Every structure is written in C-alpha cells, then in structure tokens.
Structure 1
Amino acid sequence: MSSESRATAAVSRGRSGATAPRLRDRARLAGIRAAFATLDRVAPEVAARWAVRLWCTMPASGGRRRDERTSLGETCRLQLPGGRSVVTEVWGEGEPVYLLHGWGGWRGQLGAFVAPLVAAGRRVVALDAPSHGESPPGELGPRRSTVIEFADALHAATARYGQASGVLAHSLGCTAAALAAADGMPAGRLVLVAPNAAVLTMTDVMAHRLGYTDRTKTRFDARLANLAGRPLADFDLARMHSQPRTLVVHDRADKEVPYADGARVAEAWRSAELMTTDGLGHQRILRDAGVIDRVAEFLS
C-alpha cells in the first residue's frame, strides 16, 4: 500500500481499538494533522492541493472487495470520453436495472441483488466506476477517481444498454445516480442505500479530521468544485427535488454515513420513502435478505 493510501485509510477510519494496526493508523493521523497544521499557517494552497489528492484517493478496505455474485454474467468494456473505459457485467433479459457501487467498492458487492431482479424479469447491468473493480484508472490515475466519473460511467451504461427502469446505488454511488437523474438521465425508479446527503458536510468533516482551518478549506472547496466542473452545492441530495420514485435504505448503526443523511434525503424528496434497518451497518446491508427482497420488489 502506498504512503498516500495509508494516509487515506488513517483519515477514513473511525474510533480505534487497541490493535497494533489501529494504533499505527492513529499515529499516522497525528502526523498528518501536524503537517496540515503547519501548511495551513504557511502554505494553505499546498495544503489544499494535498487535501484534494487525499479526497480523491480510494481507501484500502477488504469489506469493499466482497463478491456476492452467485453467477457470472457477460462482461463488456465501455468507452468514456477522454480515453477512459469501464467494465460492465450483464445478466438476464428485459428492462434494464443498473447497479452502482460506492467509493472504493466494485460491482461484486451488489451481487446478491442480481438473481432476484433477474427472476423478476429485469436485465441487470452492474458496472465498475473508473479506477474501481476491474475498470482501468480514471483521469487522475490509479486508485483515484471522482463522483463525476461515477456519473459518467452510469451515463455510458444507459447509452449502451438502454433507459433505466431502475438504478440501485450504494453510498457515493447514490450521489452519482441522483446527479445523473437530475441532469436528465431517465430512470423509472431509484434505490439509494446509505446515501451521503451533502458533499459540503463531508468537506467540513474532513477539515476537522485533518486539522486545517478555513484558510485551507476555502481553497480546497474551490479546487474540488473546479475539478468537478460545477458548484459543490449541486451535490446536495436534499436540494434535488425533481427525482423519480425513490426508496432510501439506511441503517441506524451505519458508522460510515450517518443514518440522519438517509433520513434527510427521504424527507426532502416528495417521491421518496425510507426503509430503516438496525444493526447492519454500511456493508452488511447489501447482503441482508430483508433488504434484498424489498429492493427487488420495489424495482420490479
């Protein structure tokens, strides 16, 4: 693992126990915070560039590499603008339903939903965003990507396989799916599992975690908006009111994305309903039988 990947993992992880790896993560984070505190005072532009680099670097997590597929579909590589490409996998026949993973994940995480959706008469198309799963690196290089690239991948998939009767997305994939729909991508229904409500809230959390002030954060936000090509407020799901009928699924014990985020989205969208689970966290929710049955029913 590269030093930057270790830094991202240290920034991303929550409260630590007494194990040696977690203690090392705490030490790394303390060193990162000290470096950012210095740069924030003397070179906030440098600090902002580093923060953006960390923001766009995927964490290393075994849980995000689980493979829940019970069978293999037909794989294909789709071209994106700028010479990029993404890998898709397809099962079944009928109106297409698209599966989009979250940050650092891959299509295999959503594999438990495939068989029920195929049985319900849907063609299931799962995709790996740039730099994720089996897809080649995106514009920023290996192990780096952006939510815009997630949305680009979804647009390319619907252009290839047809208008979405439904989209099932997890975590950051929810932001990409909602953004694509807000930008005009037709979708009959959306399922958002553990969605982040707003990017701006996440950048506040990152500033607090890394220990830099508004001197760096204002520059960081500007750089992030420039990288996305649009204001960060555009990524606030609670402001996206013109959306198809939506099911929001979120667990009260989610330690990566607060349950309040999902509840906020469900309350803000008139077309949305909220399914609450308890004790499944951020990853197990993708393989819970009750969740899978409800999602398959909703999308079919």
Structure 2
Amino acid sequence: MSASLQNSTIVRFISWAERWAPFLAVRLATRIWFTVPPPIPRERLPALPPGTSAPVEVHGRALHVVTWGTGEPVYLVHGWGGRSEQLGGFVAPLVAAGYRVIAFDGPGHGGSPGPRSTMIPELAEALRAVVAEHGPPHAVIAHSMGAAVAAHAVRDGMRPRVLVLLAPAADPRWVLDRFVRRLGGGARVRGGLERAIVRRLGLPWEAFHVPSLHRSTPVPPTLVVHDVQDREVGPEHGRAIADAWPGVRLLQTEGLGHRRLLRDPSVIDRAVRFVTDARTIRRPA
C-alpha cells in the first residue's frame, strides 16, 4: 500500500466504519486486498535484453511471456504489482551459463491483460501454464509475493530442481497484519478480512504458509536472499523459511531493501552460481 493511500480518505473512512459499520470497512478492505496495484511504468525499469515473444493463453487471455537462450528452463517470477522487467538483471548471466530463461507478467500485471482483482492461486495457475508450455523448470527465481506463488505451484505439483527466493513473503498472516495496520483498521477489520479472504479463496490460510510447505510436499534445495533492512517484507519472512525447510541456504544482505537486491551484482552472481551448481540434482519426486 502506498504512502498516499495511508493518508487518504479511504483510510479515514475505514477507521470510522470499523466502529460504526464494520461490514462496510471489511468490504472495502477486501476489495483493496485483492486489487492489483497500478503497474510499474516500464520506463522506470531497465529494459529487458532482446528476446523472443512467446505468449501463453490462460482462460482466453494471452500472458506476456519472453524467452532467451537455449538449455534447461529457468523461470523468473515477479511479485505482487510487479512485472518481469524487475528481474531482467538475471537474464544475461543465466543465458551465459547455458540456460533458457523464461519471464512472464502475471494476469493483470505488466504487459499481461487480466482482471485488476486476482490472488495467489490464479498467479500460480499462470506460472504452471507457462511451465506446461516451456518445460519442467531447472530452477525458479521468484521475488516477494512471487515466492508464495512459486511455493503454491510446488504444492500443486511443479517440481523445480532448485528455488531462489528473493525477499520472499512467507506468512500471509504477517502480510495481513501489516496491511490492516497501514489501512487504519483494527481487530474487527482484521478478523472480518481474514474470513472474507478464506471464503473467496476456498482454501485455509495454511495453504499459503510457505514455511510449512515441506510438511506435505518435497521441497527442492533453496537459496533465500533477504535484506535485513527490508521495510516491505521484513527479514523474518526469509528466516522463517530458512529455519523450516531442510537444505536451505540463507543469504542476508544489508542496505539493499526490498527491490535493489534484484539489481545487485553480488546477489545476481550468487543466485546464478546456486542455480548452476544444481545441474546434477534430481527433481523432487
């Protein structure tokens, strides 16, 4: 949520409605929760290297998909409100290492059409559709909420040899707590919003709790990168995954925040080396 939204009449309305008409506060908070933020203007991001357009159709809409290179597939997954250009720094090093890189914009994100209201299962479905078109992943590199999307796809059968999770969002309840606070709501809004989300998704919150994924599904070797000064998705998210999953490597950076780590040469180099070192690892069963 943007700082401008925090100071808007929406926030003041929710603070008032929680006391006098909580159902209205919950209804508005639910709509905001599922609404995709305005797209990041492409001109604010580094241009992707020239690649091959390879649209993939999902429910009658063509996702924006671009590929580079040859070899085993490595998929790049952006976060909530993000777009594929944010992970463009990984393309050239991965291609040079002998991989085919596939980046896409999720439904309603970046250059992909779609409703402005979406959720993790729909984004995970888009990832699985792209994988079905381009082949089983050697690796998935995912940022922020994209890590939860990748984890959900793994829960539903996607089997990469390795994962790289960059500033991952691990626990949806932590995200919900922060969202409600920034929206100006309290316990009544939080409780009502949590119930509304579960009703719409048709799944319990535990289905989106990334640290507990390993209890029901084999998880591949994973590199987690999180900055200790990340103010959007706190470093406790990355640590929770590292503490829970077997075979996780945790790289903690300092001073890169939530997005600058996507452009940091040392982070990119570490991620590409982790992906390359896993060439001989078998996919989880």
TM over 0.5: yes
> Does 1:110 pair with 2:87?
yes
In the TM superposition, residue 39 of structure 1 has moved relative to its aligned partner by: 1.9
Q: Secondary structure at the match of 1:240?
A: helix
* % identical equivalent positions: 41
In the TM superposition, residue 207 of structure 1 has moved relative to its aligned partner by: 2.1
Could you say which residue in structure 2 is the equivalent of 1:230? 203
Q: Which residue type is aligned with residue 85 of structure 1? A: A
CA distance in 2, matches of 1:154, 1:70: 19
In the TM superposition, residue 63 of structure 1 has moved relative to its aligned partner by: 8.3
Q: Which residue type is aligned with residue 164 of structure 2? A: V
Q: Which residue type is aligned with residue 131 of structure 1? A: G
In the TM superposition, residue 135 of structure 1 has moved relative to its aligned partner by: 0.2
Q: Secondary structure at the match of 1:274?
A: strand
RMSD: 1.9
Could you say which residue in structure 2 is the equivalent of 1:256? 232
Could you say which residue in structure 2 is the equivalent of 1:215? 188
In the TM superposition, residue 245 of structure 1 has moved relative to its aligned partner by: 0.6
**CA deviation profile, 1:12-66 (whole Å, cap 9, x unmatched):** xxxxxxxxxxxx65542xx333311332233322221211111122334758874
> Does 1:32 pair with 2:27?
no
Q: Moved runs in structure 1, 4+ residues, more than 6 A? A: none
> Does 1:9 pair with 2:9?
no
Q: Secondary structure at the match of 2:233?
A: coil
Could you tell me whether the CA contact under 8 Å between 1:65 and 1:105 is conserved in 2? Answer: no
**CA deviation profile, 1:168-225 (whole Å, cap 9, x unmatched):** 0000000000111122111111000001121111112222222333333222112212
Could you tell me whether the CA contact under 8 Å between 1:86 and 1:128 is conserved in 2? Answer: yes
Could you say which residue in structure 1 is the equivalent of 2:221? 245
Structure 2: runs of 5+ lacking an equivalent: 277-285
Could you say which residue in structure 2 is the equivalent of 1:123? 100
**CA deviation profile, 1:219-259 (whole Å, cap 9, x unmatched):** 21122122223112211111111311100011112111111
> Does 1:52 pair with 2:30?
yes
Aligned residues: 273
TM-score norm. by structure 2 comes to: 0.89
- Which residue, out of 18, 22, 46, partners 1:68? 46
> Residues 39 and 26 from structure 1, CA distance in 2 versus in 1: closer, same or farther, beyond 3 angstroms?
closer
In the TM superposition, residue 69 of structure 1 has moved relative to its aligned partner by: 4.3
Q: Which residue type is aligned with residue 189 of structure 2? A: T
- Which residue, out of 150, 154, 161, partners 1:181? 154
